């Protein structure tokens, strides 16, 4: 027994002398929080640009007023990129735009090529690209694509698209529904041209323009700019030649309209207003809900009127002290997504159920990114920021109902949803418009 006692005393003495080595100390540069869960172990969570507390974000979405700022994403200060996760090599041979076409297709650019995800879920090369060229927009029929350098490619070999010209363009998009013209903003003016760059002209809007959007009805443009008739910006409706313009809405606080997105049905307009003090608000204007019919004595409809005296008020969806950007709407109009914040400071991807209402809910909570577009009613493409906030990002597909996510491709340079747009149900042609204040 005395031998056993001596052994126990020796062991206890040894343990007490080593107790200071059993604790690992983290300095201020260390990251002690666990990395967010990834769908693939190879998709290293060190590539995330943000670290946040998921429970805090979820609680904020559930317990706060929907018009109040959401929980923020804390950005990392590191600009060192982790190695890209192991992933299959991309195909080298490009098939062209006459490759098998899905009704909705994920497309992205990487390694100076444009890729689309095929029927088998694997990337196929569509086109070779010049260095730095990014995919900007697809046409409503998914048969034409325009790039950041001005290059236009069409599925139909008989349609000549223009070569890269390097002109500075903003909000470039195709005309609807055929896509035989391009419209964009340059130096505060709305510019229009044929696909080959010919017949280029400036539309006579009458004030400096910051954004232009083709309405899904194919007959009208929505134009945002610093209207001298109001203290700040206004949103105008014009025909496709810039004539017959009338203001649809304006921020009564003298603010700027910084983002606009249209629902595919033509009825919903989502827009962001930035106040002179820097606060941002997200609004929805339901054109169908605001419209009222004017009938004649015989009961026939004389005209459709958008008139604030009817009692309709554009809906306030969200309010924040941070920028609200990258608005996207699902093809069925039930969901929308947006980014709140900046890459440098951390930006949260959030989703709002437009059909049921409710608070903005986080997507991929704790990681900084922006939405690209919906590829199904509930699946959202998300561009996850890298720590350097550079040209590349990691592209994920996320089920916004379950949170399940999958890595589409790491280190891509641009991404866009290629889809055949559904036909609109509401048009602005022959609609009388009176101005709404928001």
Q: What percent of the chain has pLDDT over 90?
A: 70
Predicted local distance difference test score (pLDDT) of residue 71 = 52
CA atoms of 94 and 124, how far apart (whole Å): 7
Average the pLDDT over each of 7-21, 96-110, 225-239, 355-369 and give the range with the smallest value.
7-21
Nearest to 424 by CA among 331, 307, 355: 331
Does the pLDDT value for residue 223 go beyond 90?
A: yes
CA atoms of 413 and 85, how far apart (whole Å): 16
Predicted local distance difference test score (pLDDT) of residue 72 = 54
For residue 229, name the pLDDT band (cuts at 50, 70, 90): confident
Predicted local distance difference test score (pLDDT) of residue 78 = 54
Mean pLDDT value across residues 113-129: 95
Paired residues of 415 in beta bridges = 108
Contact 308, 435 (CB under 8 A): yes
Does the pLDDT value for residue 1 go beyond 80?
A: no
More reliable by pLDDT, 271 or 83: 271
Say whether 367 sits in a helix, a strand or coil: coil
Paired residues of 397 in beta bridges = 381, 406
Does the pLDDT value for residue 43 go beyond 80?
A: no
Predicted local distance difference test score (pLDDT) of residue 157 = 78
For residue 19, name the pLDDT band (cuts at 50, 70, 90): very low
- Per the prediction, the chain carries an average pLDDT of 85
Would you report the helix, strand and coil content of the chain in percent, each value rounded to 5?
10, 40, 50
For residue 331, name the pLDDT band (cuts at 50, 70, 90): very high
Predicted local distance difference test score (pLDDT) of residue 241 = 94
Paired residues of 292 in beta bridges = 305
Cα separations (Å) of 264 from 185, 195, 196, 218? 22, 23, 27, 12
Does the pLDDT value for residue 339 go beyond 70?
A: yes
Does the pLDDT value for residue 317 go beyond 70?
A: yes
Paired residues of 351 in beta bridges = 337, 361
Average the pLDDT over each of 49-63, 299-313, 399-413, 417-431 and give the range with the smallest value.
49-63
Contact 171, 185 (CB under 8 A): yes
Average the pLDDT over each of 45-49, 242-246, 319-323 and give the range with the smallest value.
45-49
Contact 222, 262 (CB under 8 A): yes
Does the pLDDT value for residue 291 go beyond 90?
A: yes
CA atoms of 237 and 426, how far apart (whole Å): 14
More reliable by pLDDT, 303 or 244: 244
More reliable by pLDDT, 38 or 364: 364
Q: Burial level of 88, CB count in 10 A (0-12/13-18/19+)?
A: exposed
Q: Which of 35-39, 96-100, 229-233, 386-390 is predicted most confidently?
A: 386-390
Predicted local distance difference test score (pLDDT) of residue 68 = 52
More reliable by pLDDT, 332 or 158: 332
Write out pLDDT tens, residues 47-81. 333 333 344 334 344 444 554 545 556 554 455 66
Does the pLDDT value for residue 112 go beyond 90?
A: yes
Cα separations (Å) of 397 from 120, 255, 419? 16, 34, 16
Q: 148: Cβ–Cβ under 8 A, 6 or more apart, which residues?
A: 132, 133, 134, 135, 136, 169, 414
Contact 161, 196 (CB under 8 A): yes
Predicted local distance difference test score (pLDDT) of residue 70 = 55
Which sequence spans correspond to the domains of the chain?
37-90+332-418
Pairing of strands 246-250, 436-437: parallel
Does the pLDDT value for residue 32 go beyond 60?
A: no
Cα separations (Å) of 434 from 213, 249, 266, 312? 20, 8, 18, 12
Does the pLDDT value for residue 18 go beyond 90?
A: no
């Amino acid at each position: 027994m005395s031998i056993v006692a001596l052994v126990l005393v020796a062991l206890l003495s040894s343990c007490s002398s080593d107790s200071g080595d059993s604790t690992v100390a983290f300095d201020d540069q260390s990251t002690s929080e666990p990395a967010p869960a990834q769908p693939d172990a190879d998709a290293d969570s060190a590539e995330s640009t943000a670290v946040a507390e998921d429970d805090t974000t979820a609680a904020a979405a559930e317990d706060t007023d929907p018009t109040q700022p959401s929980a923020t994403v804390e950005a990392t200060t590191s600009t060192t990129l982790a190695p890209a996760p192991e992933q299959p090599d991309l195909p080298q041979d490009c098939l062209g735009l006459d490759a098998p076409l899905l009704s909705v297709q994920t497309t992205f650019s990487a390694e100076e090529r444009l890729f689309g995800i095929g029927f088998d879920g694997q990337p196929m090369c569509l086109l070779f690209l010049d260095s730095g060229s990014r995919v900007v927009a697809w046409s409503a029929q998914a048969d034409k694509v325009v790039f950041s350098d001005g290059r236009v490619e069409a599925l139909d070999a008989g349609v000549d698209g223009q070569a890269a010209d390097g002109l500075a363009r903003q909000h470039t998009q195709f005309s609807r529904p055929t896509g035989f013209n391009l419209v964009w903003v340059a130096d505060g003016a709305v510019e229009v041209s044929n696909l080959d760059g010919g017949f280029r002209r400036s539309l006579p809007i009458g004030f400096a323009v910051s954004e232009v959007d083709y309405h899904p009805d194919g007959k009208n443009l929505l134009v945002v700019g610093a209207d001298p008739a109001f203290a700040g910006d206004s949103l105008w409706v014009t025909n496709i030649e810039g004539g017959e313009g009338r203001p649809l809405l304006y921020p009564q606080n003298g603010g700027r309209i910084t983002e606009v997105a249209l629902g595919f049905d033509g009825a919903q307009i989502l827009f962001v207003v930035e106040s002179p003090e820097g606060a941002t608000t997200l609004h929805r204007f339901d054109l169908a809900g605001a419209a009222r019919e004017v009938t004649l004595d015989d009961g026939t409809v004389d005209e459709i009127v958008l008139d604030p005296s009817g009692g309709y008020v554009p809906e306030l969806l969200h309010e924040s002290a941070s920028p609200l950007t990258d608005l996207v709407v699902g093809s069925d109009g039930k969901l929308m997504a947006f980014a709140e914040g900046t890459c440098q400071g951390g930006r949260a991807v959030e989703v709002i159920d437009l059909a049921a209402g409710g608070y903005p809910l986080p997507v991929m909570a704790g990681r900084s990114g922006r939405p690209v577009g919906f590829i199904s009613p509930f699946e959202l493409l998300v561009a996850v920021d890298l720590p350097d906030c550079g040209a590349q990002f990691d592209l994920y597909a996320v089920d916004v109902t379950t949170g399940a996510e999958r890595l589409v491709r790491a280190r891509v340079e641009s991404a866009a949803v290629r889809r055949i747009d559904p036909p609109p149900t509401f048009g602005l042609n022959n609609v009388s418009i009176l101005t709404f204040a928001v």
